[in-house]
Structure 1
Amino acid sequence: MNNPRPIHPDFQALLDFKDQGLIGLFTDLRQYILELHPDSNELLYHTHALTAVFSISDKLSDAFCMLPIYSNHLNLGFNKGTLLKDPHKLLTGTGNLIRHIDVKETSDYRNPKVEALILEAIDFAIKDMDKATKSIARTISKIKT
C-alpha cells in the first residue's frame, strides 16, 4: 500500500507509552490488515487494552479482527474466531466467540496460514452483516480524551 492510513492522534498518544517493540509489531500488523482489506473501518478503543478493531461497517458487531495491545504483549484477535475454520490450529482462547493468535514477531502473522484466516474472517463478516454500509475506509475513535 503506497499511501498508508495514518494512526489516529487519540490512539497514537496512548500508543506512544508502549514498548517500542510492541509499537513496531502493532504498526506493521495494522498495515498488513489494511493491505488485505483497504476498505476496513478502524474502530479505536481504550478499555482494558488499547485496541484497534477492524470492521466492514462502522459497527463493532461487523468486526472481523482486532489488535489489542496490553502492557507486555499484542494479540491478533478474531471476533468470531470460534466460527472460523482453523485447520492449522492457530487460534487460542476459551471465550464463546473470540479467539486469538499471540504476536511476538512478524512471522507470527506474515505467513500464508494467517493471511488465509484473516481473509476468511473478512468473508465471514461480509456474509454475516445485516445490511450494507456506506461507511468505508474510515478511522473512528471511541477513545475519550
Structure 2
Amino acid sequence: MKKSENEGVQLFLDEIKLIDSDKSTTLIEIRDIILNAFPKTKERVMYGGLVFFLNDEMFSGLFLNKHHVTLEFSNGYLMEDPKKVLEGKGKYRRHLKILTTEDILNKEVSFFVKQAV
C-alpha cells in the first residue's frame, strides 16, 4: 500500500484495516490501481469514503458498505461497458459493487479506472 500524503486519508486507511481487514484489502488494491493509473491524483476523505481528484475535479470514489466496496465514477455514464457491469441509473454517476478481491479482475476495475478521466 502506498502511504498517503494526506494525513486524514492515511488515518482512514489505517482505521479500516482494524474495522474490516477483508474489505480494506479490496479497497487498498483498487486505490493502488487508481493511483498507478493517474499518479498526480489527489485523494481526500469525503462522504464517508475516499474520493479522488485530478486537476481539482473529482473523478472517482471508494466507499465501504456492509457487504461490499463501492467504486464510483463521477462520469460513469460516458464509459464503455460491454459486459454491462456498471450499476446506477443517475444522470452521471455509475458504480461497481466489489464483493471480493476476485471481483477486481472479474469486473475489470482497471478497464473502468482508465476511462474515469
In 2 relative to 1, CA 105–72 (structure 1 residues): closer, same or farther, beyond 3 Å?
Answer: closer
Q: Could you tell me which residue of structure 1 aligns to residue 21 of structure 2?
A: 20
Asked which structure has the greater RCO (Cα within 8 Å, sep 6+), the reply is 1
SS in 2 for 1:109: helix
Q: RMSD in angstroms over aligned alpha carbons?
A: 2.4
2:33·2:110 contact (CA, 8 Å) conserved in 1?
A: no
From the superposition, tell whether residues 43 and 57 of structure 1 become closer, same or farther in structure 2 (CA, over 3 Å).
farther
Kept in 1, the 8 Å contact 2:68–2:100? The answer is no
Query: Structure 2: which 5+ runs fail to align?
Result: none
Aligned partners of 1:112 and 1:92: how far apart in 2? 11
| 2:30–2:109 contact (8 Å) kept in structure 1 | no
Q: TM-score, normalised by structure 1?
A: 0.66
Question: Structure 2: which amino acid aligns with 1:51?
Answer: G
TM-score, reference length from structure 2 = 0.79
C-alpha contact (below 8 Å) 1:66/1:76 kept by paired residues: yes
Percent of aligned positions with the same letter in both sequences?
A: 26
Structure 1 gaps, min length 5: 123-145
Indicate which of 27, 38, 56 corresponds to 2:54. 56
Pick from 74, 85, 90: which aligns with 1:90? Answer: 85
Larger radius of gyration: 1
Structure 2 CA distance, aligned partners of 1:23 and 1:104? Answer: 12
TM-aligned CA deviation for residue 87 of structure 1: 2.0
Residue 113 of structure 1: CA displacement?
3.8
2:66 is the counterpart of 1:71: yes
Give the length in aligned residue pairs.
114
Query: Do structure 1's residue 38 and structure 2's residue 36 form an aligned pair?
Result: no
Give 4+ residue runs of structure 1 displaced > 4 Å after superposition: none
| CA displacement at 1:95 relative to structure 2 | 1.6
The one-letter amino acid paired with 1:119 is K
